Chains A and B, each alone.
Chain A
């Protein structure tokens, strides 16, 4: 990225201004729509301003992993669609896609909000397999936070498809049964640009960051996953400040999602 643009972002932030007019710790306007894809068992569209992300859940009955014969499987996959941004290319997922997938996945998995034991149909033979796919449609930064929110919204909206006595799935018939979810893990990524901390970075801002920290939390004082990114180190004081900010912002987002789920 052009050094002048980076400097401009940095210098503006010192004055407390962002290129889109927001304050450093403001999120963009959030909208969450549920059940937007008819072919998925659950789905959600999340928008932060103009940035748009789609998440879909597909369920299937599979054999469990040999080391966890009584557990169902929950998997999150994110892909940086070249449709969503001029800088993304076709081809196998790059490290950015993989990191995004894994950070969202870890946040949901480690929160324990989905009890995989309850997804077991026949011990050692048949378990439910939940695949959550997350895709930016219009990419403008902050995919982990948007994708994590979209994934939770999609899981919450999902209905199990019907199965016969041999556990064959009939995708044309949805049941009323919902996935049992306790708690709402919400990832918030706090970015450090110069000495300023910001949340909900745009694509341009992401290219100018020195360091970032993604904190996934279940409530105001329950963290369930962390990921530090960016080239520069962070002091413990900075980490304390970033976690504090992330917990506060996660609470805002969690309230928004809870409203939509009502």
Chain B
């Protein structure tokens, strides 16, 4: 397997400083959104997908594992949270927790099954597992088939934050996203993250150095799946529905595309990619039948001309890791 990413640059204090500057700028921009006149629902949706893409990126960009079924974590958490909120009438914070726990459980099982497979076989087994799950959700009565779970109550977070107010909801989602993002950043720069990168670069060497690579990969898989579940649980509050599209393989494909467009193995790439793709879906909607053609062209151009993704190319140009 050839290296997917281009971060051969050493992690220096200067690189860390660059990343912190970009992070602060990003956070400030996002905090300012409600005052800017940009439509907040669009940004909220993009934030949920950005977190999902970051979680996915943890696995592929730093672990070298391409999961082609990542939608299953988002969808599972979405369904479980939605069910908890609507049928069990749990408060939002517990609803999110239910979703996260469900995704955690799922990632334990699927990780156990898939983690020993190599390369493309890993991708295919995750795809197969997500298709199985799709079938289960289609059959299970609590998901209401293709109608989905609709009209999910947003409720009051911790009993005080009224999530039906768009501005309040926006900041709750933003805090969730930033927390998830920082956690991923921390993981990447921890000793665990370093081992992960070494496995990606050369697994046999990592094994010969005494690392139990399967355990590292398994842990990365579970972390990634659980964080994807967190994104899915947050999305329930934004979309107020949970539907089969969130567990369909095309959604898994979209996550791959977001990460690729933004830049595989870059810290900020998935965020940029998610915003780009969601904006495309939103603003190209007026082009009617040409949407798929435009989307397809963008992917082709992306693969042929800027393979490192938007952020990857920028970072490469300035010789910085971002």
B is a partner of A: no
Measuring CB to CB, which residues of chain B are less than 8 angstroms from any residue of chain A? none
